[in-house]
Amino acid sequence: MPGLEQALAEIAAEMAQRTDRGDVAGYIPQLSKIDPMKFGMAAVTNEGQVILAGDADQPFSIQSVSKVFTLTLALGKVGDGLWRRVGREPSGNPFNSIIQLEHENGIPRNPFINAGAIVVSDVLLAGHQPREAIGEILRFIRSLADDDTIIIDREVAASERATGYRNFAAAHYMKSFDNIHHAPELALGVYFHHCAIAMSCRQLAMAGRFLANAGRSPASGHTVVSAERARRIAALMLTCGHYDGSGDFAFRVGIPAKSGVGGGILAIVPGVASLAVWSPGLNANGNSKLGSIALEKLARAMNWSVFAP
Ligand code: GLN
């Protein structure tokens, strides 16, 4: 694609110079050890071009980016019935907030805040042992990325289980409203493990291809979800994918994207490309600081926006 390779190389070079890199997530001990100087970026076009820059082949903890894939799987299982248990509105609150749950009777605002993703994990647990549900999520992501080397970082999962007090609080609180159907510890086990999946920018951009291509893998033509569902997942990414920073991200970047506290962001240019960026330092909303800036620069350079033709 004209200009894409050069834009990516220039942005990566510029990001390498920056000293204001944000703060690495400190509340998950295993993540606090990551080198904040890391930066990677990948673009996979619908035509099959793969363009990489910086540390694009180094795996990192995808954390909440995994919620895009678990939502996709849960919608495949229970369809629109999911929306009886999870909302579709931006929360305007931090990703780990529990304050709205009391006002809204244990129904999380959307599937991308922690409480919403824990309900999604509970949905994926139906009829399964946690190990099987986790295996199903991993297999799904491997098949989307066309890469069987993707693994779960068990140390990150254990680190989060040992310190995830707010997630335990949210899960138990929702259980009191019957919005968690299994033992909260089991739903949390699934949740912590899918957050601990490690992927590189290349693998993440590959896994996001179906969302940039109306629900179908551009390589095989295989249908992952309907075109309508792909549009709806992208709509949720745009409105809720960056928590209480979602409005600002839409304003600055203008394309659907989902962030994680590992510093990764998966972004979609519908009809054009799937993008991934990784820089571990976070801004005040827990979104990758340089990752957001890099996507803003790339969208501007390529004239990409869902709000313009
Ligand atoms: N596993 C993380 C948590 O529950 C995910 C949060 C995130 O990536 N924003 O806190």
> DSSP code of 34?
S
Residue 122 banded pLDDT, cuts 50, 70, 90: very high
Question: Is the CB of 72 within 6 Å of ligand 1?
Answer: no
Average pLDDT, the chain: 96
pTM of the model as a whole: 0.97
Q: Report the nearest atom of ligand 1 relative to the CA of 95.
A: 9
The angle subtended at Cα 279 by Cα 287 and Cα 91, nearest 5°, is: 10
Tell me the C-alpha distance between 301 and 309, whole Å. 15
Sketch the domain layout of the chain as residue ranges: 4-62+200-302, 64-195
Q: Ligand 1 centroid to 195 CA: how many Å?
A: 7
Find, among 17, 109, 68, 21, the residue nearest to 197 by Cα: 68
Q: Which CATH architecture has domain 64-195?
A: 3-Layer(aba) Sandwich (3.40)
Q: Ligand 1 centroid to 220 CA: how many Å?
A: 32
Residue 119: the pLDDT is: 98
Tell me the C-alpha distance between 53 and 201, whole Å. 9
Q: Report the nearest atom of ligand 1 relative to the CA of 65.
A: 8
Structure tokens at 293: 């800036």
Tell me the C-alpha distance between 226 and 212, whole Å. 12
Are 33 and 289 spatial neighbours (Cβ–Cβ below 8 Å)?
A: no
Tell me the C-alpha distance between 87 and 107, whole Å. 7
Are 177 and 122 spatial neighbours (Cβ–Cβ below 8 Å)?
A: no
Residue 95 banded pLDDT, cuts 50, 70, 90: confident
Structure tokens at 7: 């834009």
Strands (E), 218-272: 257-259, 264-269
Q: Which of 24-38, 90-104, 248-262 has the highest mean pLDDT?
A: 248-262
Q: CATH class for domain 4-62+200-302? A: alpha beta
Rounded alpha-carbon distances, angstroms, from residue 33 to 28, 94, 161, 251: 9, 23, 17, 32
Residue 6 banded pLDDT, cuts 50, 70, 90: very high
Q: Report the nearest atom of ligand 1 relative to the CA of 167.
A: 4
Question: Is the CB of 282 within 6 Å of ligand 1?
Answer: no
Residue 108 has pLDDT above 80, yes or no: yes
- Least confident range from 5-19, 22-36, 60-74: namely 22-36
Fold identical between 4-62+200-302 and 64-195? yes
